[in-house]
Amino acid sequence: MSQFARAPLTAILGPTNTGKTHLAVERMAAHSSGMIGFPLRLLAREVYDRMVKLKGANQVALITGEEKILPRDARWFLCTAESMPMERDFAFVALDEAQLGADPERGHVFTDRMLHARGREETMILGSEALAPMVRALLPKAEIIGRPRFSTLSYAGPTKLSRLPPRSAIVAFSAEQVYAVAEMLRRMRGGAAVVMGALSPRTRNAQVAMYQAGEVDYLVATDAIGMGLNMDVTHVAFAGLSKFDGRRRRRLTPAEMAQIAGRAGRHQRDGSFGSITLEGELAAEFRPEEIEAIEEHRFAPLDHLYWREGDPDFRSTEALIRSLERRPTSLGLRAAPEAIDLAVLKRLAEDPEIAARAKGEERVRRLWAACGLPDFRKTGPEHHARLVGRIYLHLSEGEGRIPQGWYASQVAALDNVQGDIDTLADRIAGVRTWAYIAHRADWLADPATMAERTREVEEKLSDALHERLTQRFVDRRTSVLLRDIGRKGAGEFPVIVDEQGEVTVGSFPIGRMEGFSFEVDPTAKHADRKMLLATAERRLGGEFEKRASALAADTDDHFSLRTEPGQAVAILWRGHEVARLGPGKNLLSPRLLIDRRLDRLSERGRSTVSSRLDVWLRHQVERWLAPLRAAGAAAQDPTCPPAIRSILAMLVDEGGIVAREAVAKPLAALERDQRRLITRLKVRIGALDLFLPDILKPEPRRWRTALRTACSGGSMPLLPPESAVVLPTPNEAERKLLGRLGYRALGPQMVRVDLVERLAKRAFEARAGKAETYVDQALTVSLGLQPQTVAKLMRDLGFRPTAPKPGEQEGWVWRGHARRRPEPQADPSHAFAALAGLRRG
C-alpha cells in the first residue's frame, strides 16, 4: 500500500469515553468508502448497525470470522481485525484499540494492521495514550492527537454486593464467577443481564437490551466490556483483580483496569469504579498507585508490540513455519508467542498424510488457511488440530470441497435447544466453527446455503440461551417491584386486580386480594415476602377504598354471621371476615370490632363500612330475634309495671329462657291481666320455664348463642344438631351451655323446654281429669325418653309416684312442689339486672 504513503495518518489516543470510535465512524461516513477493524465482533456488529441506519443495508458490509454480510455494492466495511480484507482499496481505514498489539495472543494481528492497513485518503489509529511511544517509533510520520475523557472517573471504594448502586456493571474473570455473581444479584436485587465474549451477538444484544431498557439494573460481564461496548453504566465493580491470560494467573495491569473501569460514565455523565465483597470472600483491593493511575489516566507507556510475519513464505510447510517464527528486526517489536494457528500447523506438519498432500504453494496456502480456523470451543491445540486436519483432508482431495452431507450432519448435531446454559453456549461455539467455514467461499460447494443454515441454528440457540440466562439470573417480578418501590407517587407500573382477586404489578402476579386481606403469592421466595407486602401497602390503597364502597352498596344476602365452633363470632362479607362482635351495652347490641386488615382504609372508608355493617346487624337481630328485642324494649319501658320489667329483664339477660323458679316471686305477684301482658310478648309461661318459643328454632338459636358468646368475649361453642330435642346429659360445663340453649336437665337426659312443657301439659290435664294418663307414652317413646328422665320430670312438676293399682301402668299423685331452692342472684354485669330488684325494692 505504498501508493497511500502520502495520505494523512493520524493516531487518536486517549482514555475510554473520549469519543475516539465515534470520531472514526463519522470520518468514515464522510468518505466515499471505508473500513474499520475492531477487537470484538460484538463491537463490529454494534457499529455495523449504526452505519446501516446512516447509509442503508446495501451499502454496508460486516465481516467477522463467523459472520459475513457482504452486499455487492458495499462501500463501508466493519470487521474484526483478523478479518479485514487487506487487499481491497478504501478511501478511509481505521484500527480500533490498537494498543492490543501488546497482547500476547492476538497482538501480532493488530501490529500488522497498524503497520500495513492504509486508506488512500485517510488512516486512523485509535488507542490508549500508552501507545504513543510505539506510534512514534514505528510510524514516525503519524500525527498524534490526544483526546481528554468527557467525564470524570473516580474511585468509590469496596462495597457489598447487596449495596451496589443501580446501573452498575460487575466484572468477573471466569464464567463460574459471572454465574455466581448473577445468581446472588437475582436473590438480592431481582437479577442481572449477563455479557460474555463467548455469547453470540444475538444473545449478547438481547441481554444488553434487557439492561438498557431498565428491566434489570445490573450487568455482570467478563472483561470483554472493556473493549468499547457502549452501555448505560454508572458504576463498574470488580469482582476480582486477577485473571488467567492463557498461560498463568496474574494481576491486571493498571491500564487493563482502566480500560474496564472506563465503561462507567458516558459522555458528560461521571462514573465511578470500585470492588465488591462476595459472600465468604475478601474484597479485591486496589492499590493507591493503581487508583491514582486510573483516575488520572496515567499509565506506563508501551515499550514493545508483538509481531509475526504478515506475508509468510508458502513454498513449503517448513518454509511457512520458519517465516512465521522469524524474529522482527525493527526496534520495539517482539516475536509473538506461539499462537494456536501456528501450534496446529506444527502438529499437522508432522502428520504423514497431511505432509504428503501439502506440496506446492497452493496446497500450503490452503493448509495455512485451514489452520486459521479459530478454536471457538477452547479445546486446545491437540484436539483442535484433529478437526483442522480432517477439514484439510477434505480440502485437498477431489474437487477441494468439504462434503456437503458431512458438513450438514455436523450442523444438524448442534441443532438442539435442550440443555443448560453451558451446554447451549458450547453448541453456539460449535456453530461458530461451521459458520466460519461457510464464509470461506472456496471451501463448500454451496456456501451461501450453508451460511444461512448455520445462521438459523445460531439464532435458535442464541434465543434459547437468552431465555435460559433470563430464567436463571432474572427474577422479573422482583426486578419490577424493586423499581416500583423506588418510584415516588403512584409508581411506574399499573396495578391490576382481576375478578378472581389476583393482583399484578405490570404483568407479574404479587398475590391475591381476599376481601380486604392481601395474601402474598405462595410461589414467592421467603426473602421476597416483605417486598411484596410493601408493594401492596403502597399500591392497593385505591383498591381498598373501592372495596369499601362496594361493601356499603352490597345487598344483605352477601353478608353472613360466622359461628364456627372455636372461633370468635364474626361478620363476613362475600365470605371474607370484615368485623367481629364484642361485648356491647346489652345482649342485643354487641360492639362492632372492625378487622385490622381494614386499617388501610381512610377514616371515611372505615366509617362507611362500620355504618353498613351496623345496619345489617340490626336488621338481622330484628329478623331472627324480634321477640327477644320486643321483650327487651318492654323491660326498659317505664310505663310497664316493675314486676313485669324485672321478669322480662331476667328473661332477656338469659337469652330468652329462664327457669320459672328464678322468677318465682315476681311472677307470683302478677295479676291475671299482667300475665297477659307478658304472654302478648310471645313469652310462654311454662310449668318449669319461661321462654320465647320462636327463639328455639335453629337460626334464632344460632344468633342468640352468637350474641351471648360475643358478650362473654369467648369463642363460639359447638351447637347441637338442629333437629335434636333430646340429648344425653353431658358434663357440668356442657350442661350449663345446653341449658342456655333451651334444654332442661332431667336425670340422664336433657330435653328441649318446649317438649318439657308439652309433657307437663299432659300431666296437669290428667290431674284435672281431662286426660286418662299422666304421661303420654307414645310421645315419650317417640322422643326416646328413658324412664329415669320421665320420673325426674314428674317430680320436678310436683308429682310423686304411687303404687299402681291392679291393671294400671302408672301411679302419680300431686304432692306440690318441693321446697324451692334459694332464688339465684342476677348477674350484675347484665344491663337489665338492676331491674330485677325493682319489685323486691
pLDDT, mean of residues 753-771: 91
The label of the residue with cell 456437503 reads: 404
* pLDDT at residue number 651: 92
Model confidence band, residue 483 (pLDDT cutoffs 50, 70, 90): low
Name the grid cell of 198.
463467548
| Bridge partner list, 334 | 306
pLDDT above 90 covers a percentage of the chain that reads 56
Q: Do 534 and 467 fall into the same domain?
A: no
Detail the DSSP E strand segments found in 588-653. 589-594
Model confidence band, residue 841 (pLDDT cutoffs 50, 70, 90): very low
CA-to-CA dists, residue 827 to 147, 644, 740, angstroms: 96, 18, 14
Q: Do 619 and 629 fall into the same domain?
A: no
* pLDDT at residue number 530: 67
Cβ-based neighbours of 628, under 8 Å, separated by 6 or more:
587, 588, 652, 655, 656, 692, 695, 704
Least confident of 322-331, 593-602, 829-838: 829-838
Integer Cα distance of 255 and 461 in angstroms: 35
User: What 3 state SS string does 716-760 have?
Assistant: CCCCCCCCCCEEECCCHHHHHHHHHCCEEEECCEEEEHHHHHHHH
pLDDT, mean of residues 352-376: 94
Model confidence band, residue 184 (pLDDT cutoffs 50, 70, 90): confident
Name the grid cell of 184.
446472588
579, part of any domain: yes
pLDDT, mean of residues 607-626: 95
- Domain harbouring 129, CATH code: 3.40.50.300
| Helix 541-553 × helix 603-624 angle, to 10° | 30
Render pLDDT for 814-839 as a digit per residue (tens, 0 to 9).
887 654 444 444 444 444 444 444 43
* pLDDT at residue number 482: 57
pLDDT at residue 521 greater than cutoff 70: yes
* pLDDT at residue number 597: 87
pLDDT, mean of residues 229-245: 84
Cα 668 → chain centroid: 75
Cβ-based neighbours of 160, under 8 Å, separated by 6 or more:
276, 277
Q: Do 178 and 140 fall into the same domain?
A: no
Q: Do 319 and 334 fall into the same domain?
A: yes
Q: Do 755 and 665 fall into the same domain?
A: yes
Last residue of a domain, one of 592, 623, 654: 623
84, part of any domain: yes
pLDDT at residue 30 greater than cutoff 80: yes
Q: Do 804 and 672 fall into the same domain?
A: yes
Name the grid cell of 535.
408493594
CB 105 within 8 A of CB 98: no
629, part of any domain: yes
725, part of any domain: yes
Q: Do 403 and 529 fall into the same domain?
A: no
pLDDT at residue 520 greater than cutoff 50: yes
pLDDT, mean of residues 392-411: 93
pLDDT at residue 806 greater than cutoff 90: no
Q: Do 321 and 402 fall into the same domain?
A: yes
Q: Do 650 and 786 fall into the same domain?
A: yes
The label of the residue with cell 464467577 reads: 177
Render pLDDT for 427-473 as a digit per residue (tens, 0 to 9).
999 999 999 999 888 899 999 899 999 999 999 999 999 998 988 88
Model confidence band, residue 605 (pLDDT cutoffs 50, 70, 90): very high
Integer Cα distance of 19 and 30 in angstroms: 17
* pLDDT at residue number 208: 87
Mean pLDDT, the chain, rounded, equals: 87
Render pLDDT for 571-595 as a digit per residue (tens, 0 to 9).
999 999 999 999 998 888 999 999 9
Higher local confidence (pLDDT), 25 or 249:
25
Q: Do 452 and 361 fall into the same domain?
A: yes
pLDDT at residue 611 greater than cutoff 90: yes
* pLDDT at residue number 32: 96
636, part of any domain: yes
* pLDDT at residue number 687: 92
- The total number of structural domains that make up the chain: 6
* pLDDT at residue number 814: 87
Supply the pTM of this predicted model.
0.62
Integer Cα distance of 588 and 615 in angstroms: 13
CB 256 within 8 A of CB 99: no
Which range, 462-471, 608-617, 736-745, has the best average confidence (pLDDT)? 608-617
State the sign of the Cα–Cα–Cα–Cα dihedral 429, 431, 434, 436: negative
824, part of any domain: no
CB 263 within 8 A of CB 229: yes
pLDDT, mean of residues 261-268: 77
Name the grid cell of 87.
487487499
Integer Cα distance of 810 and 772 in angstroms: 11
Q: Do 229 and 240 fall into the same domain?
A: yes
Cβ-based neighbours of 762, under 8 Å, separated by 6 or more:
771, 773, 774, 775, 776, 779
30, part of any domain: yes
pLDDT at residue 812 greater than cutoff 90: no
pLDDT at residue 255 greater than cutoff 80: yes
Cβ-based neighbours of 296, under 8 Å, separated by 6 or more:
none
| Helix 381-395 × helix 340-349 angle, to 10° | 60
pLDDT above 70 covers a percentage of the chain that reads 89
pLDDT at residue 708 greater than cutoff 80: yes
Dihedral angle, C-alpha 701, 704, 705, 709, nearest 10 ° = 170
User: What 3 state SS string does 323-347 have?
Assistant: HHCCCCCCCCEEECCCCHHHHHHHH
Model confidence band, residue 284 (pLDDT cutoffs 50, 70, 90): confident
834, part of any domain: no
pLDDT at residue 516 greater than cutoff 90: no
Domain extent at residue 619 = 550-623
Integer Cα distance of 93 and 320 in angstroms: 29
Last residue of a domain, one of 472, 494, 514: 472
Last residue of a domain, one of 561, 596, 623: 623
Q: Do 556 and 702 fall into the same domain?
A: no
